[in-house]
Amino acid sequence: MPLPLGPYSSDEEGPCLLPDGQIVCGPHGLVVCDECCTDYADPDPTQPDEDQEDCEYCRGPEKIRGTGRVFPTTFTPPTTSILPTELFPGRRTYGKVTRYVHRDDPRAVLIMTDGACLDNGQANPKAGWALVHGPGLTNKPAIISARLEKEGPFGDEAVQTSNRAELRAVIEALRFRYWPAEGFRTITIATDSEYVVKGSTKWAKTWVKNNWKTSANACVKNKDLWELLLGDFERSDDEGLRIRFWWIPRNWNKNADAAAKKAAAEDTAADHFMGWGGHHFPEN
């Protein structure tokens, strides 16, 4: 029997064939899914990966150091007072989750991100990140969050800071789903981090030209995460996905902020960079 075509299978179980020929899990649209314990990169994609359940961390998309070939744009809302959830009130449902969809563009999705760090800059800082990727089926926001890993994406030992956590949230927003498979062509990331917005849309262009040096000839901090983020911008562009950043006030980002602080307070952090998601909060 041929595999069902689309981001999900008809019964929300088993494998599913995307239009580009990639096989993914039915419920989540993932090649490697820790929830379904499947790895459809295997020669026999119809069989669960028995080792996946015990995997220390998931692999996720390939981690590529970006070159600065693609940069996102800054999103300007129609009015300065409109809330993200007012402009993106849509509730398109995918499996067991819903999405914030633009009121005038069904192919534009919104994700809200944030990072936090307890004792930032002190002896034993603890950072966490979070993203809100939908309104939830019962108006309880769908959230993913986790402690910041001890290592960066390329194996470098990393410090726990709020800036790294904010970058990590954006990276996860781009990597934890194959957005084109859900029919989206534009992703708007709303964050209260000036560091993330201006760094992604403006500063990184200069850093790349200056071989990752600041105007004061100092090494750019968090280079590993910036390089991965640039790589994800390039991968998204190749997939036909346009990325925009919306700099919002802090009090508009309360759900992501609270989740990031909760994640930062966790006792343990993963040793290695996580390929897919951290804690999936169920929708009650």
CATH number at residue 196: 3.30.420.10
Same domain, 39 and 96: no
Same domain, 22 and 108: no
Q: Are strands 23-25 and 15-17 parallel, antiparallel or unpaired?
A: antiparallel
pLDDT at 193 (0 to 100): 98
Same domain, 29 and 157: no
pLDDT at 137 (0 to 100): 73
Rounded to 10 degrees, what is the CA torsion of 194, 200, 206, 212? Answer: 100
- Counting the structural domains of the chain, the total is 2
pLDDT at 50 (0 to 100): 39
Domain around 21: 1-55
Burial level of 273, CB count in 10 A (0-12/13-18/19+)?
buried
Angle, vertex CA 258, rays to CA 254 and CA 259, nearest 5: 120
pLDDT at 260 (0 to 100): 97
Same domain, 120 and 215: yes
Q: How confident is the model at residue 59 (pLDDT cuts 50, 70, 90)?
A: low
Q: How confident is the model at residue 15 (pLDDT cuts 50, 70, 90)?
A: low
Q: Region of 13 please: left (phi>0), alpha (psi -120 to 50) or beta.
A: beta
